[in-house]
């Protein structure tokens, strides 16, 4: 069937952080499982594309991404009623659990359906998930969105190829953590703090 193009992330000389297939075990019959997610570390070149933010402002992706804050990134579209609401809800809950640290992070959601996702629709979508000032949604031309998707190796031919992938990066220049599958808000928070600690340690030893 459709199994030719694998989902191998561009691993560049970095060991995978580890496959985190967490599954609670219990004597009770069939406990609910925690998330199924696969994590890897990867370098991506942020493409120099112009996108339009959900406040209507035209922006350059590298500038948005490289303002020094840690970035959590995903790709969504607003009419998606299957996995996107869960992905966005996960980001929203993660954001909430950050508490006072929320001001330090930059959450970014890029539309993979930019012609449908006008600024007004993106704005309404962002509000539905109570996105604060630290969380922006982006649209733009179909080509710009495609370029961004290709740069992060998430484009799979069309929207139906969309899967749940979350990216986390501590600071510009450091590698991205790529999380495939459904990560829980708690796991995302844990990974985020871990990445920040690592990054802080790296800075301290320089």
Partner 1 sequence: MQPGAGESIYLRGVLPSGAPLEGKRQAAGLTTTGADAACVGCHQRSGLGTYEGYNFDVTIPPIAGPYLFHSREAHTQEAVLPYVPWMHSNRDPYTDATLARAIREGLDSQGRPLSALMPRFALSDADMDALIEYLKQLGSHPAPGVSERELHFATVITPDADPARRKAMLDVMDHYFADKNLFPIGNSLPLRTSGHGQQAKSMFMSHRLWRLHVWDLTGAASTWGAQLDAHMEREPVFALVSGLGGNNWAPVHQFCQRRQLPCLFPNVDAPLDNSHDFYPLYFSRGVLLEADLIARQIAYGAHAASAAPAASVLQVYRPGDGGEAAALALAAALKPLGIPVRNQPLAPASGAKGVREAVGQAQKSDVLVLWLRPADLADLGDAAAAPAVVYTSGVMGGLEQAPLPAAWRSRVRMTYPYELPEKRELRVKYALSWFSIRHIPVVDEPLQVNTYIACGLLAETLSHMADNLVQPFMIEMLQTSAERRLINTGYYPHLVLALNQHFASKGGYIVHFARPEGAQLVADSDWIVP
Q: Which residues bind partner 1 (CB under 8 A)?
A: 1-3, 5, 7, 29-36, 77, 79-83, 85-86, 89-90, 93, 113-116, 118, 141-142, 156-164, 181-182, 184-186
Contacts with 56 (C-beta within 8 Å, 6 or more apart), sequence order:
119
CB of 163 to partner 1, least distance (A): 4
CB of 68 to partner 1, least distance (A): 30
Q: 97 or 101: whose CB is closer to partner 1?
A: 97
Q: 29 or 45: whose CB is closer to partner 1?
A: 29
The answer to whether 79 touches 114, Cβ cutoff 8 Å, is: no
CB of 76 to partner 1, least distance (A): 12
Enter the tokens of residue 196.
């920040």
CA distances in angstroms from 134 to 45, 70, 107, listed in the order given: 23, 11, 6
CA distances in angstroms from 192 to 75, 80, 160, 162, 206, listed in the order given: 18, 26, 28, 23, 22
CB of 8 to partner 1, least distance (A): 12
Collapsed DSSP state (helix, strand, coil) of residue 2: coil
Q: 43 or 163: whose CB is closer to partner 1?
A: 163
Q: 83 or 203: whose CB is closer to partner 1?
A: 83
The answer to whether 66 touches 172, Cβ cutoff 8 Å, is: yes
H-state helical runs in the chain: 61-65, 84-98, 119-128, 142-151, 185-205
Q: 153 or 199: whose CB is closer to partner 1?
A: 153
CB of 202 to partner 1, least distance (A): 31
């Amino acid at each position: 069937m459709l199994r030719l193009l694998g989902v191998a992330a561009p691993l560049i000389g970095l060991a995978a952080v580890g496959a985190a297939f967490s599954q609670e075990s219990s004597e009770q019959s069939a406990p609910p499982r925690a998330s199924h997610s696969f994590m890897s570390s990867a370098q991506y070149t942020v493409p120099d594309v112009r996108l339009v933010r959900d406040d209507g402002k035209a922006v350059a992706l590298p500038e948005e991404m490289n303002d020094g804050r840690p970035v959590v990134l995903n790709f969504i579209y607003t009419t998606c009623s299957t996995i996107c609401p869960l992905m966005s809800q996960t980001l929203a809950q993660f954001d909430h659990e950050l508490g006072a640290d929320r001001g330090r992070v930059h959450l970014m959601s890029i539309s993979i359906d930019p012609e449908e996702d006008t600024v007004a629709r993106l704005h309404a979508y962002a509000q539905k998930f109570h996105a604060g000032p630290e969380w922006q949604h982006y649209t733009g031309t179909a080509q710009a969105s495609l370029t961004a998707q290709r740069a992060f190796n998430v484009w799979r031919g069309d929207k139906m190829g969309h899967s749940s992938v979350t990216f986390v990066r501590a600071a510009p220049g450091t590698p991205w953590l790529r999380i495939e599958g459904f990560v829980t808000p708690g796991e995302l928070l844990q990974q985020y703090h871990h990445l920040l600690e690592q990054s802080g340690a790296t800075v301290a030893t320089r």
